[in-house]
Structure 1
Amino acid sequence: MKDILFYQLFESQSSTYTYLIADMETKEAAIIDPVRETVDRDLKLIRELGLYLMYILETHIHADHITGASEIRKNTMAQTAASALTEIDCVDILLEDGRILPLGNKNIKAITTPGHTSACMSFLFEGMVFTGDSLLIRGTGRTDFQEGSASKLYDSITQKLFYLPDETKVYPAHDYHGLTSTTIGLEKKFNPRIGVNRSKEEFKKIMEELQFATPTKMHLALPANTRCGKNTELE
């Protein structure tokens, strides 16, 4: 991967991964799922690397942190991009399934993967897929709010993500156990919720029986993130 740049960045409060990717020849870059608390770090890194930020990509409307999209957009030439199903006015590029975003001499492919929320997107880039909260490392996103659907999530993972080559590297939006990445092949084999050829009915039963706490920042994050992170109560 000498011709691309890849950084996996971490925000500890919400255990969120932010990703910075770029085409090294043109220095055109994209950032995926930035967090408001780490915007200064991200902007500093972009400047240090001499990158031209083209896109700020959101995998979904997050409930556990406030996005840094608005602040990064103010300080760069980048456009924000998210699923058309978010119906958010502040998003510059509303993405449909299969949309190609050129990044220098490379391409980012948007893949709709609803189920965790109704408007989840994954992004495929150079043998890597950024899955947001849809497919996690040995897990999946919850499906109990934001128009979540275990049935839709099962279809998104098994009919779209699991159709990618087994060697495709998977980079999720979160991990709570210190792991940083996985592969499609490993998740097919070892994911206890949806791997090992689990049926849709088995997956739905597993998801129904899980009990999750409400995200602590949800009352702030959801309304703020529908405005790309700007004009929030924290300002």
Structure 2
Amino acid sequence: MILLSLQSMKLMKLVPNAVRMSSTLSRDSNFFFRQLFDSVSSTYTYILGDLNSKEAVLIDPVIEHAERDANIIKELNFKLLYAMNTHMHADHVTGTGRLKSLLPGCKSVIGKASGAQADIHLVDGEEVTFGSHKLLTVATPGHTNGCLTYICHGQSLAFTGDTLLIRGCGRTDFQEGCSETLYNSVHQKIFTLPNHYTLYPAHDYKGVTATTVGEEKKYNPRLTKSLKEFIQIMDNLNLPYPKMIDKAIPANKVCGLY
């Protein structure tokens, strides 16, 4: 992991919508990883690439940053194969449709159970390939019906969307939310991964960039509880109505091009 300099950290605090990113050439030096950030919705966007084939995928883009993402991909000489969503978001409009126009040949991807339009609809167990790397699609509903977790076993990491956040989880009080379903998704599909696997969520509201399976199994204040206790917690969050939901969901049903 490349650590940010003190000057870079100061810059991120000063610049609105600053690109918060980290790059790794993990155990496989052919694997490219970059984490980007939208400060309005606290959304993380991820670029994954194969440095030999120059094929790449992008996970959870935000429409306001589509040009930013496209420019990075062009500058790094990647070919974007897929602009992917972990689920149909309620807090921002996806950038997948816009990216298709900025990067011809790119295809939009979302879970079939989401009910949203896309070029490719994934179901549990399918794989997305870019160069020599693969993402395994695992259905993890509960926040929404169409929530997916993308697991890269080759790099010991996973992208959990809103199903599992860092020391938290996605809400279950709107769309097709179900607390019991979410709890089972996490315990059966994510917590069964090896403890050292790094987890990257779709959002974080405290500036934390990643976590691990082992950390969340030990420290997550909601998902370390029993199912009954978890449902009680989720039923009593008393959170405000999502301010973007009435715009985001209709837009995201049509690939962000509403």
TM bin, normalised by shorter chain, reads: over 0.9
1:50-77: CA deviation from partner (whole Å, max 9, x where unpaired): 0011111101111111111101012221
**3-state SS of 1:163 partner:** coil
1:228 counterpart residue number: 255
Which consecutive segments of 4 or more residues in structure 1 shift more than 2 A? Answer: none
8 Å contact from structure 2 (residues 91, 242) kept in 1: yes
Shift in Å, 1:80: 1.1
Consecutive unaligned residues of structure 2, counting only runs of 5 or more, are 1-25
2:95 counterpart residue number: 68
**3-state SS of 1:111 partner:** strand
The amino acid that maps onto 1:87 is G
Shift in Å, 1:209: 1.1
1:83 counterpart residue number: 111
Indicate the larger mover: 69-78 or 47-56: 69-78
Q: C-alpha separation between the residues in 1 aligned to 2:190 and 2:170?
A: 14
Q: Give TM-score scaled by structure 1 length.
A: 0.95
**3-state SS of 1:160 partner:** helix
1:151-190 map, 5 Å: 151-190=180-219
**3-state SS of 1:221 partner:** helix
Provide the aligned C-alpha RMSD in A: 0.9
**3-state SS of 1:102 partner:** strand
Name the count of aligned residue pairs: 228
8 Å contact from structure 2 (residues 165, 201) kept in 1: yes
Match of 1:129 among 158, 177, 180: 158
Q: C-alpha separation between the residues in 1 aligned to 2:97 and 2:201?
A: 22
1:169-217: CA deviation from partner (whole Å, max 9, x where unpaired): 010010001100000000000000002xx21111111111111111211
1:27 counterpart residue number: 54
Consecutive unaligned residues of structure 1, counting only runs of 5 or more, are none
Higher relative contact order (CA 8 A, sep 6+): 1
